[in-house]
Every structure is written in C-alpha cells, then in structure tokens.
Amino acid sequence: MAESLSSAPERRPERPRAKAGLTAYTLRRAAQSLVTVFIVITAVFLLMRLLPLEGYFGDDYDRLDDFQRQAILRSLGLLDPWYVQLRNFYSGLLQGDLGTSIIYRPKVPVTRIVVPRIPVSARFGLAAVGMGLVIGLTLGVLAAREKGKIFDGVVQGYIVFVRAVPAVVYLLFIQLYATQFFDLPILYRAANPRSWVLPAVSLSLGGIASYAMWIRRFMVDELNKDYIKLARAKGMSNTSVMFKHVLRNAFVPMAQYLPTTLLLTIAGSLYIESLYSIPGMGGLLIDAIAVQDNPLVQALVLIFSSLGVFGLFAGDVLMALIDPRIKLEGRGGAR
Amino acid sequence: MSAKDTINAIEERSLFELAKHDAVAAERSGYSDYSYWRSTLAVFLKNRFAVAALLIMVVLIAFTFMQPFLPNQKDPNLIHINPETGRQLRNVPPSQEYRFGTNSIGQDLWARIWLGSRNSLLLALLVSIVRVTVGIVVGALWGYVRRLDRLMTELYNVLANVPTTIVYTLAAYILRPSLRTMIIAMTILGWLPMARFIRNQVVIIRDREYNLASRCLGTPTSRIISRNILPYLVSVIMLQFALAIPLVIGAEVFLSYIGLGLPYHVPSLGNLVNQGRQLMLIKSLRYQLIYPSIVLSLITISFYVMGNAFSDAADPRTHV
C-alpha cells in the first residue's frame, strides 16, 4: 500500500496565455471573474424560482386560504415575472443592498444575519487549517523518513481511515466517546474554551490526513532526485535540505489551493457546527435553501462564489511568487 | 583458479573476433516478455493489504447479494409484533432471533442493514460509472481540444459554484424521492470533479518529453494515445473509480443527515446510520448506530485500499 495513497498533483485548470504584464493579466482575470460570478448568481436566482410556490409558506400552508397566500406572495414580490424580479435584485445589488430575509428571519437585513456568524466559523476554520498544516506536514515528513516502519504504518492507517470512512460517521463517534473519555462538554458555549476543543479537532482531522498524505508521497518521490543528491553531496545538513529544497518545492502545488481553503473557512462546516450547535455559517445556506429564502440564498451564493473565484486567482499569483519558474503571462507547456 | 583463467582467455579472444551477422539475433535485442496486465497483477498480488482488502470486499459484496436467499431471513420492511401482547417488538437488543436487534419501530436491523448495503452499493456503482464515463469523455475533450479550453474552464467555474443542495432540492421537488432520483441528482453535476481531474492529467502528460519524442519520430496519434497516454490513465481512472464508491456512499450518508436522503422504506447505509444517530445518546440502543457504521466502514475502507493498490499496480512506473 506504501506509495499508493495519492495521485499526481493536480494542476490548476486555468493556464494564462496572453502576453501582457501582470497588471493587464490581473485586470483580465478580474473581469473574467466578475462575469463568472454574475452567471453563477443569475443561474442560482433562476433555479430558486423553479422551486414550488407552496415552499414559501412552510408549515403555515394549510392554515392560510388562497387569498392570503396570493397576498403574501405579492407582498414578497414573488408574483412578478422573473425578469422583473431579476432586475430588482440587480438594482438593489448595485446600490450595495443585499436585500432582506423573507422567511428565515423575516424583514431582517441579510447582512445582519450573515455578518455575526462569519467570525465564529472563520475562527474554527482557521484553527483547523493551522492544525492541519502543522500536524499533517509533520506527520507526513516523519512518515516519509520512517518509510516502511511502524510509525509510517500508523500514519498510513490513519490516512486510510479518515479518507475512506465518511466523516459523518467517525465524527459522530468522536462526539460520542471523546466527550465521555476526556470529560469535555458535548455542546459549544462561546464562554467556555474547553468546548472549543472537540469541534476544532474534528474539523482538522480531514486536513491532517490530506496534508500528511500529500507531503509523504511528495517526499518519497522527491528525495531520490538529483538536486537533493547534489545538495547532500555539497554537505548540506538534512534539516536545511528539507527546508530550503524539499519543502519549498512541495509548497508550490499547495499554494494553488491554500487561498481558497483559507477564504472558504468562513463558509464553516455544516456537519460539525450542527453536531456541536455552533452558531456559524455552516448550515445557513442549506437552511435558507430548504425554506426558500431567496435573498439569503442569493447573498450567500454571491459571497461564496466570489471568494471561490478570487481564491483561484490568488492561488495562481501565490504560486508564481513561490516558484519563479512559473510565469503567469506567456505560453506554458511545450506546444 | 585455472577455470577462471580459461574463461578470461576465452573472453579475451572473443573480444578480437568478428561476430557473424545474424538477422534474427539482431531483431531479438529489443525483445522482452513484458505484458502490461500480467505485470499489474503481479505487483498487485505482492501487496498483502490489497489482497486482504480485495478478499474482504468480495466476501462482503457476495454476502450482501446472497443474504436474501439464505434460510431464516426476515423481511427488511416487516414490522415484527409480539404475538402475546400484540405490541411492536421495538428496540429488541441483538439476540439469536434478531442478530442485530430491531429498530425503533420493530423492523429487523440485520435484514435492513444488508438491504441497505445492497442499495448503497448499487447507488454508488451506478453513480460512479456515470460520473467516470461522462468525466472521461468531457475531460479528454477539454484537455485535448485547445479551442474548447477557455469555454470549458468558464463552464466549469460556473457549474462548480452552483450549490449542490439546490440541485438536490430541485430534484427532490421535481421527482419523487427514490433511488432513481438520488442517482440523477448525484450525477447531474457530479461528473465535474472527474472531468477536471482527467483534463489536468491529459494536459500534464500530453506534452511530456516521451510524447514529444514520439511525435517527433512520427508516431501516429492513435498509437501515442493507446501506448503512451492510456496505460498511464488506466491507473488513475481505476483509482478514481474505486475512490468514487466510498465518496458516493459518504455523500449519501450526508444527504440523509440534511434530510434529502432516501425514503424510510428504501433502507440505505446512509439512512440507517442517521436513524441510529437519533438514538445514540441512549447507551443500550447504541447498537443501532454501531452495526451500520461497522458495515459501512468495512465497505468503504476495502474499496479505498483496493483502489489505491490497484492504481499503484497499474502504474507502469512500478513495473519491473
């Protein structure tokens, strides 16, 4: 099973080709991103309008008569033709107004719902990414050095377990048994730091496994390469070979994903946040879709897709900064 | 000593003799009895974990599909009633009669778990086949045809940013919740990551030096594809396929958790785990969570290990 855990590193889908300066490149990418985000939210807007009108009433549907239902729908603007609704949405957006929630928390501005939740999710997310990087990379590097020995086997077993068993299952058992075993609180309380431990640890397990797997595979492949042998032959110490050569190269493909990972920490984790009842962003989108709160869904999709698209771009720039061989402008590849 | 001297003498002499030209022998120089699939099998069988995973997987799948035909099996949807009191046999702990106990409305958990595995495996298999097939076709086009690259990248960016929950909610609204609805909802955008993955692989290897060399030597494109690119892709495609199965099973568990899963009368590992979760705080009923979780983990882990080992074995670089 030794070498089998990862596939070849992924490349970014976008390979910039225009011969232009970095500014022009940035501008072109920004315009492109704007178009992408525009199409995404328009598509989501239209998809939400495909959902049944009964969905807007939730459990109240049976208690209302037809006249009341029509009145409510009209007051929410849902009886207008879709292009009128779309125009209203965009004219509000251009004035910086994300709209007000219609069902999730009626008449409350979307920003007032979303903004207080962001730091909660972001704190856990950043802690998890940090732990994932530090612990994951350390485990991976040590496993690569101990290749074929017991420690390596344990790390591999952990990686296989976390990646193969659905998180929904093992996180449940962590909540069930770790709370008993370490006497930790079962639910999150903002005032009690002890209740932060399990959600943060749970959130980091997947990242630890991915980073450990990736760096171990990378190290095993890389340590036999000529530039490493040369560095050794020059008399460089193991540690500086590791930090100045191997890890720097290892970070190049990682840099592509890191900005997106960091930015999307604010999206939170639906499952962990609902397990520990953390008031974060995690379940918000799914709840909003379930009750068909269109303005809230649109605002969240706008935030997430902008971050996703921007993260991809930031990843390309970061990658070019770390690896001077990568040129954002000019032709890539052999043809 | 003397034997060695003789050999040296012969070698020395042969160094200065002209060899006869033998057309057959000249051809033979490049010959090896390398066979791609035989080497793959040999490397695979050398991996003890892989063979164990394969064995577990085969036994599990065989048992899952044979279980209804074994003697003394119960109907998974039949609610068992105590003949004396006339009440439902709710939450009966595991016993001779009910090997995994009964659930909260008196159905046999043993029968439900195996039917659930059947449903989950079927779902996973069908979804993975569609995802991988569509992903390969789209990804290969995306990677090879340069004119398509811009358009496809844009299309990918848009589609990948549409929240999947909307797709599932829409599918659940338009079609009734069933196994078929689930398959449609999971495939309609589910091929995207596979397409991106194949596209990246094609882009990476299409300009590799050995392909460049082949092109310079005038090798026809069809031969480059079948000899240079496909053997490399077979391994990653098989890996993706094997890994897609635990992924789909996991996604199904997650969908059950957010309430978009299969209906109650169609048990799956997802809704079984979810039903067990609702009772997990009562210690004596925890078996209803633990048994489905164990079966689920065995299936996903064996597929994962097997897939990894197979892709490793199928990678020509590991062949001797």
Q: Is A128 on the interface with B (CB under 8 A)?
A: no
What is the nearest CA distance from A335 to chain B, expressed in angstroms?
Answer: 7
Quickly state the pLDDT bin for A9 (edges 50, 70, 90): very low
Q: Is B194 on the interface with A (CB under 8 A)?
A: no
Record: contact B166-A47, CB cut-off 8 A: yes
Averaged pLDDT, B17-38: 71
B162, β-bridge pairs: none
pLDDT digits over B46-87, tens only? 888 889 989 998 999 999 888 888 877 777 877 777 777 777
What is the nearest CA distance from B37 to chain A, expressed in angstroms?
Answer: 18
pLDDT digits over B100-125, tens only? 878 777 788 888 899 999 999 999 99
> Mutation test of the interface with chain A: which of B166, B229, B233, B285, choosing the one with the most A Cβ atoms within 10 A?
B166
Mark which residues 40-99 of B lie under 8 Å from A by CB.
47, 49-50
Is the CB of residue A267 less than 8 Å from the CB of residue A304? yes
Q: Which fold has domain A119-292?
A: MetI-like fold (1.10.3720)
Q: Is B244 on the interface with A (CB under 8 A)?
A: no
What is the nearest CA distance from A235 to chain B, expressed in angstroms?
Answer: 31
Rounded Cα–Cα distance for residues A13 and A183 (Å): 47
What is the nearest CA distance from A236 to chain B, expressed in angstroms?
Answer: 30
For position A22, what pLDDT does the model report? 67
Record: contact A289-B301, CB cut-off 8 A: no
pLDDT digits over A108-153, tens only? 888 888 888 999 999 999 999 999 999 999 999 889 888 888 999 9
Rounded Cα–Cα distance for residues B296 and B288 (Å): 13
pTM, whole model, 2 decimals?
0.77
pLDDT digits over A12-58, tens only? 444 444 444 667 777 888 888 888 888 888 888 888 888 887 777 77
For position B6, what pLDDT does the model report? 67
Mark which residues 285-314 of A lie under 8 Å from B by CB.
285-286, 289-290, 297, 301, 304-305, 308-309, 312
Structure tokens at A151: 């420690």
Rounded Cα–Cα distance for residues A284 and A117 (Å): 9
Q: Is A51 on the interface with B (CB under 8 A)?
A: yes
With a CB cutoff of 8 Å and minimum separation 6, the contacts of A195 are A184, A185, A187, A188, A189, A276
pLDDT digits over B186-221, tens only? 888 889 988 888 888 877 777 778 888 888 888 887
Quickly state the pLDDT bin for A180 (edges 50, 70, 90): confident
Quickly state the pLDDT bin for A5 (edges 50, 70, 90): very low
pLDDT digits over A235-247, tens only? 888 888 888 888 8
Q: Is A39 on the interface with B (CB under 8 A)?
A: yes
Q: Residues A240, A243, A245, CA angle at the centre, nearest 5°?
A: 90
Mark which residues 186-225 of A lie under 8 Å from B by CB.
none
